């Protein structure tokens, strides 16, 4: 049976909520669309599909007048929420308090109705230039602790995001859609086991829209490899889209990255649904990967089938 999943995306005005959804939709070449964004009027809806579930994003315009409206009609807006993505603009420290008060209003409503809604906090606008910026990192850590202390009964995940880092956006939404469902633990275990068997750098499953179903990385990735890893994951996002659109005859593609690594993308059809496996691995291990891949595929299908059965 198809399920409807209601995802609320909330946060103050200008936090970057609509940008996040736009980036997720376009995945590449989205900068132009984001520059021309205007403040959201009340709520905008966007729908997508994730493993045959219909996901509806409620992009809640964050201007004060709308926040007041949502507070007044909380039950109308917040009932039936399956996931809350709360976006904090970490470059806007002057309004942290206002932002926390808004979050509190929403969580109080969930509590009042005994709704056990998983929550993802996006520390957004963590642009690449802030990586390694101690003051910023401390500020984020303080916010994180503050939130954990206030809401011990909620399941909360934190993610640093920036529209200049498309993978962080894909991860934000992906974690939200998958991490809270028990079935995904088995998948994650299979990936962990297989990553070790292949001795690969990363192992990622995407759905046809490029949303991550599950992922696993080598525990310690060397810094030079990390950069190439991110680049090739981006490439795989392009490639899987092309495989979909051009109905490629082959279901896999190899390409080399630098002089040591290769990336491998493989499409698997399960119940008329395309799932993509992305592997980054040292070139010298390629044959070993191919030897073990079909067995991995069989185990994978077994775990994914129950997640997408129905319709
Ligand atoms: N530096 C930086 N700017 C961003 C980022 N994401 C969004 N922005 C900018 O932030 C501004 C506001 O983005 P929106 O997505 O419209 O904000 P919003 O949360 O939807 O705002 P409301 O609809 O009014 O609630 C835009 O000028 C974006 O270009 C980011 O990751 N880094
Ligand atoms: Mg908006």
| 96 has pLDDT over 90 | yes
> Domain count of the chain?
2
The confidence band for 93, taking pLDDT boundaries of 50, 70 and 90, is very high
Please indicate, yes or no, whether residues 71 and 112 belong to a single structural domain of this protein: yes
DSSP assignments along 43-101, one per residue: EEEEEEEETTEEEEEEEE--SHHHHHHHHHTHHHHHTT-SEEEEEEETT-GGGHHHHHH
* The two three-digit tokens of residue 295, written as one number: 């067995």
Please indicate, yes or no, whether residues 213 and 165 belong to a single structural domain of this protein: no
The confidence band for 237, taking pLDDT boundaries of 50, 70 and 90, is confident
Query: What digits encode the pLDDT tens for the residues 193-228?
Result: 999 999 999 999 998 888 888 888 888 777 777 778
> Of 108 and 28, which is predicted with more confidence?
108
Across the chain, what does the average pLDDT equal? 88
- Among the residue ranges 21-25, 60-64, 70-74, 143-147, the one predicted with the least confidence is 21-25
pLDDT at position 35 is: 67
Instruction: For a ligand 1 pocket test, name from 8, 14, 38, 42 the mutation site with the most ligand atoms within 8 angstroms of its C-beta.
Output: 14
pLDDT at position 208 is: 85
Ion ligand 2, residues whose Cβ is below 5 A away:
17-18, 40
Please indicate, yes or no, whether residues 124 and 269 belong to a single structural domain of this protein: no
Closest by CA position to 57, among listed 43, 69, 37, 68 = 43
**Nearest atom of ligand 1 to the alpha carbon of 127:** 32
| 27 has pLDDT over 70 | no
**What is the total residue count of the chain?**
311
Residue of minimum CA distance from atom 2 in ligand 1:
125
| Other residues' Cβ atoms within 10 Å of the Cβ of residue 258 | 13
What is the enclosing helix (H) or strand (E) of 226? helix 223-245
Q: What is the mean pLDDT of residues 69-96?
A: 95
pLDDT at position 54 is: 85
Asked if 84 and 120 count as a contact pair (C-beta separation under 8 A), the reply is yes
Please indicate, yes or no, whether residues 30 and 150 belong to a single structural domain of this protein: yes
The confidence band for 28, taking pLDDT boundaries of 50, 70 and 90, is low
Q: What is the mean pLDDT of residues 80-108?
A: 96
> Of 7 and 229, which is predicted with more confidence?
7
Query: What digits encode the pLDDT tens for the residues 148-195?
Result: 999 999 989 999 999 988 888 888 888 888 766 677 888 889 999 999
Residue of minimum CA distance from atom 6 in ligand 1:
16
How many whole angstroms from 15 Cα to the centroid of ligand 1?
5
pLDDT at position 311 is: 42
Which of these three, 125, 154, 178, is where a domain ends?
178
Which of these three, 128, 150, 178, is where a domain ends?
178
Please indicate, yes or no, whether residues 174 and 188 belong to a single structural domain of this protein: no
Asked if 21 and 57 count as a contact pair (C-beta separation under 8 A), the reply is yes
The CATH number of the domain holding residue 223 is: 3.30.450.30
Please indicate, yes or no, whether residues 138 and 258 belong to a single structural domain of this protein: no
Please indicate, yes or no, whether residues 23 and 166 belong to a single structural domain of this protein: yes
Burial 203-235 (b: 16+ CB within 10 A, else e): bbbbbbbbbbbbbbbbeebeeebeebbbebbbb
Ligand with minimal distance to 67 CA: 1
**Nearest atom of ligand 1 to the alpha carbon of 91:** 1
How many whole angstroms from 216 Cα to the centroid of ligand 2?
32
Name 209's Cβ contacts closer than 8 Å, sequence gap at least 6.
Answer: 48, 49, 50
| 304 has pLDDT over 50 | yes
pLDDT at position 236 is: 86
Query: What digits encode the pLDDT tens for the residues 109-148?
Result: 999 999 999 999 999 999 999 988 999 999 999 999 999 9
Please indicate, yes or no, whether residues 290 and 271 belong to a single structural domain of this protein: yes
pLDDT at position 1 is: 46
Binding-site residues, ligand 1, Cβ < 6 A: 11, 13-19, 34-35, 37, 39-40, 61-63, 124-125, 127, 162-163
Name 48's Cβ contacts closer than 8 Å, sequence gap at least 6.
Answer: 25, 55, 57, 209, 211
Instruction: For a ligand 1 pocket test, name from 16, 124, 163, 169 the mutation site with the most ligand atoms within 8 angstroms of its C-beta.
Output: 16
Residue of minimum CA distance from atom 22 in ligand 1:
13
Q: How far from each other are the two terminal CA atoms of the chain, in whole angstroms?
A: 5
Q: What is the pTM of this model?
A: 0.85
Closest by CA position to 190, among listed 209, 215, 171 = 215
Please indicate, yes or no, whether residues 257 and 164 belong to a single structural domain of this protein: no
Asked if 68 and 98 count as a contact pair (C-beta separation under 8 A), the reply is no
pLDDT at position 147 is: 97
Range of the domain at 262: 183-308
pLDDT at position 199 is: 94
Which of these three, 178, 211, 227, is where a domain ends?
178
| Other residues' Cβ atoms within 10 Å of the Cβ of residue 108 | 12
Closest by CA position to 54, among listed 118, 9, 5 = 5
The CATH number of the domain holding residue 112 is: 3.40.50.300
Rg (CA), the chain: 20
The confidence band for 240, taking pLDDT boundaries of 50, 70 and 90, is confident
Please indicate, yes or no, whether residues 70 and 96 belong to a single structural domain of this protein: yes
Please indicate, yes or no, whether residues 36 and 168 belong to a single structural domain of this protein: yes
Q: What is the mean pLDDT of residues 33-59?
A: 84
């Amino acid at each position: 049976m198809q399920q409807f999943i209601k995802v609320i995306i909330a946060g103050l005005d200008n936090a970057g909520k609509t940008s996040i959804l736009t980036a997720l939709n376009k995945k590449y070449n989205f900068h132009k669309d984001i520059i021309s964004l205007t403040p959201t009027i009340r709520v905008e809806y966007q729908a997508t599909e994730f493993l045959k579930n219909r996901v509806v994003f409620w992009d809640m315009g964050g201007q004060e007048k709308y926040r007041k409206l949502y507070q007044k009609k909380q039950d109308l807006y917040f009932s039936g929420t399956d996931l809350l993505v709360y976006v904090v603009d970490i470059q806007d420290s002057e309004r942290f308090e206002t932002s926390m008060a808004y979050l509190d209003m929403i969580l109080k409503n969930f509590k009042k109705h005994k709704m056990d809604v998983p929550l993802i906090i996006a520390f957004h606008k963590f642009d690449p230039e802030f990586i390694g910026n101690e003051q910023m990192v401390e500020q984020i850590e303080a916010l994180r602790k503050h939130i954990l202390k206030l809401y011990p009964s909620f399941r909360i995940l934190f993610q640093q995001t920036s529209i200049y880092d498309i993978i962080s956006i894909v991860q934000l939404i992906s974690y939200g859609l998958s991490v809270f469902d028990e079935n995904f633990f088995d998948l994650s275990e299979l990936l962990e086991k297989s990553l070790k068997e292949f001795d690969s750098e990363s192992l990622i499953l995407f759905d046809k829209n490029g949303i991550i179903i599950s992922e696993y990385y080598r525990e310690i990735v060397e810094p030079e490899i990390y950069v190439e890893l991110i680049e090739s994951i981006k490439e795989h996002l392009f490639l899987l889209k092309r495989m979909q659109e051009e109905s490629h005859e082959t279901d896999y593609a190899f390409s080399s990255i630098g002089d040591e690594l290769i990336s491998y993308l493989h499409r698997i059809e399960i119940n008329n649904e395309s799932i993509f496996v992305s592997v980054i691995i040292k070139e010298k291990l390629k044959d070993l990967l191919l030897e073990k891949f079909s067995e991995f595929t069989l185990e994978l299908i077994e775990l994914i089938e129950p997640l997408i059965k129905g319709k």
